[in-house]
Amino acid sequence: MTRLTNLDELKQHVTLLANVEESEAPFISAYLNLENGQTGWREALESRARLLRRVLKGDDLADLEEALDKIEVWLTTELLPEAKGAAIFARGTFGGSFMLPMQFAAPLPNWIAVYPTPNIYHLIELKDTYERYLVMIATPNWVRILEVNLGAATVQAWSEHPPLRERVGSEWSETQYQLYRRDRGGRFLQEKIRVLEQLIHSDDHSHLILAGDPQITARIRHALPESIASKLVGVIPATCRDAQADIVTATLSVFVEQEEQESQSVAARLIEAIRTQGLAVAGAEGCVDKLQQGQGDTLVMLQEYYPDPGWFCAACKSMGTMPPATNICPHCGAEAVQPTDLREELVRLAGKWDCPVEVVESSDALAALGGVGCLLRSRLDLQNENPGAVQKPARAM
């Protein structure tokens, strides 16, 4: 059954795409914004397709048309009405048939590229920006606990107060009922906090947002154990009349802001490590070298990082940031040098080694270092994992 792609699936897809081998056939990476409906994404896709048809010939053009047909069929038959962004990766039969579509509750830009391998940067940015978090919505009548996964909310657990009002009258006085209700309400919230604690620890959620009646959310905050309170990143007011989708949308902006603050903290760690000659490198060339050796702990990249093309040697797998004047590799002498997209190479290498990527909206200090850097794994970690020399992986494109 067709459904929105969740975070765990996205992580698996990133690893798969990062390891797709290069072929002579064009590989299409299509990111589409679905917020304006079919008219919007169709115009973006057709406009780009017309341009690509002018630059591809022969088998490449035939493979392009085959891949575009696959994409068109999927878009017209599988899109969900709640999807705001889609990413489709396709290649025709000539280069080894491939088709991997995804759709998300979060929007994506309109961006369509033909390259020897999948372009995964926008997937990395999506994962870094949204990830997943828990929302507890509390009103006088009910409490709901939702997981927001890449912008989509799924009900994890929710309960309503029993209809206690029916017991007022012949059984209880109004005063007895109010005393019971206050005690029952406290126990009810404690039950929901226990459920919340189980969800946080079982699925390794690192962020929590409270929403709802201010008096009730204040009680919840006071009752949260430290292990959960430390994960609380925001509280927003809401009522039982507010639509769940609107509440989730309101929490998204809080979460994205928190994520950017955390990205800034990681960037600050990188800058400090560079200043103190710690475990970090700066610049594309240093990052490529360390990522190829599996030494990267976290790749840190400006959102507006657009480096000049680099180069790659198909013979010795060397890479560099300044393409040589000829196609002769400066390291091995083979006539096998070809241009490469450095930003894509960096995120692909990170994906191959399951190295986290932090995309930072703005940082003057990081910009001064070239817009990209990499925190490195400790020497002890590397020794424990592989006592021998760390080997460079073959460049899977």
What pLDDT is attached to residue 156? 54
Q: What is the pLDDT of residue 127?
A: 93
DSSP states of 44-71 as a string? HHHHHHHHHHHH--HHHHHHHHHHHHHH
**pLDDT in the model for residue 192:** 82
Which segments of the chain have a pLDDT < 70? 1, 154-186, 379-397
Average predicted confidence (pLDDT) for the chain: 85
Q: What are the structural domains, with CATH classification, of the chain?
A: 1-129 (3.30.960.10), 130-259 (3.30.420.60), 279-397 (3.30.1330.30)
CA 159, 161, 167 angle in degrees (round to 5)? 150
What's the CA gap between 194 and 81, in Å, rounded? Answer: 34
User: Using the 8-state DSSP alphabet, how is residue 361 labeled?
Assistant: S
pLDDT digits (tens, 9 = 90+) for 260-315: 999 999 999 999 999 999 999 999 989 998 998 999 999 999 999 999 888 888 78
* pLDDT given for residue 327 in this prediction: 87
**Nearest-angstrom CA–CA distance, 397 and 395:** 6
Cα torsion 216, 217, 223, 224: sign: positive
Q: How far is CA 112 from CA 32, 46, 100, 237, 395, in A?
A: 8, 10, 15, 40, 23
> Which residue, 340, 256, 260, 339, is CA-closest to 300?
260
Name the β-bridge partners of 87: 31, 102
CA torsion sign for 10, 297, 312, 343 is positive
The candidate with the shortest Cα–Cα distance to 216, out of 270, 141, 166, 161, is 141
pTM value is 0.82
Backbone conformation region of residue 151, classed left if phi is above 0, alpha if psi is from -120 to 50, else beta: left
DSSP 316-333: T--EESS--SSSS-TTT-
Tally DSSP H helices, then E strands, for the chain.
12, 16
Which has the closest alpha carbon to 239: 138, 350, 334, 112? 138
